A and B are shown apart, each in its own frame.
Chain A
């Protein structure tokens, strides 16, 4: 099942994705830097030189991608974490003129796999609107362009 994203209420986005692995393994892939950096690598041709995730309440996280002189990334704080069920953390894009989000990610066993639900809460409807339009887009504009190219 590929990712589905929908708008929820006035300030949230919700993503749903199934993986063919146990909740423990999917959870670890989201919380151990050595694993995160193997799949959250961004667009082709980019590297992920910054990948930090302190999987404890109050722990800091930081992800950064780079290609030549260009770079983007985000930082945040882990608010609540319970292996293998739940991660609650904040995310603030660096360099983007926008407020951050609070993300609630849950992992539930689904047969022999895992159903992951990500809720991304913005502070205001305007923040969600701006994020969809420019925040993620500015940060990942190049990756989108690259993806478009790859899909041709």
Chain B
């Protein structure tokens, strides 16, 4: 689980791959359809798509010779889940700090 998430975050830490994911939020697309709008070469797009697929962020179907790509919502939800868990862990500390500051106020 953790290793999978690490792969996912590594995949997300690249501007070109974020741009590809952004493009895919508008719907399923072939690699060739992503080349022009992103200003990347075909091999570069192919490489990034492989990384994204390995990270579980996108899914690719096979229709004849076409390999259309689409976002895989489950993994994206897991990613935001980890940030939220980190936030929740830190927030519990800060809530305690709120209480401590309040108590000091009462006693001073």
Residues of A within 8 A of B (CB): 2-5, 7, 10, 15, 17, 19-21, 25-26, 29, 35, 38-43, 125-126, 128-130, 132-134, 136-138, 140, 143-144, 147-148, 151
Contact = CB atoms under 8 A, between A and B. Distances in A.
B92 A38 contact: no
A34 to B, nearest CB: 11
B10 interface: yes
B94 A132 contact: no
B90 A3 contact: yes
Closest 3 CB pairs of A and B: A129-B9, A125-B13, A133-B6
B102 A20 contact: yes
B14 to A, nearest CB: 8
Q: Which secondary structure dominates chain B's binding surface?
A: helix
Contacts of B86: 5, 132, 136-137
Contacts of A130: 6, 9-10
Contacts of A39: 93-94, 96-97, 99-100
A15 B90 contact: yes
B24 interface: no
29 contacts: A3-B94, A5-B90, A10-B13, A19-B101, A21-B101, A26-B97, A35-B100, A38-B100, A39-B93, A39-B94, A39-B97, A40-B93, A41-B96, A43-B92, A128-B13, A129-B8, A129-B13, A130-B9, A132-B83, A133-B8, A133-B9, A133-B82, A137-B5, A140-B89, A143-B89, A144-B89, A147-B89, A148-B85, A151-B88
Interface of B: 2-3, 5-6, 8-10, 12-15, 82-83, 85-102, 104-105
A15 B86 CA distance: 11
Given A5-B86, A20-B101, A137-B82, A128 B96 contact: no
B65 to A, nearest CB: 34
A29 B100 contact: yes
A20 B102 CA distance: 8
Contact of A133 (B2, B95, B99, B104): B2
Contacts of B88: 144, 147, 151
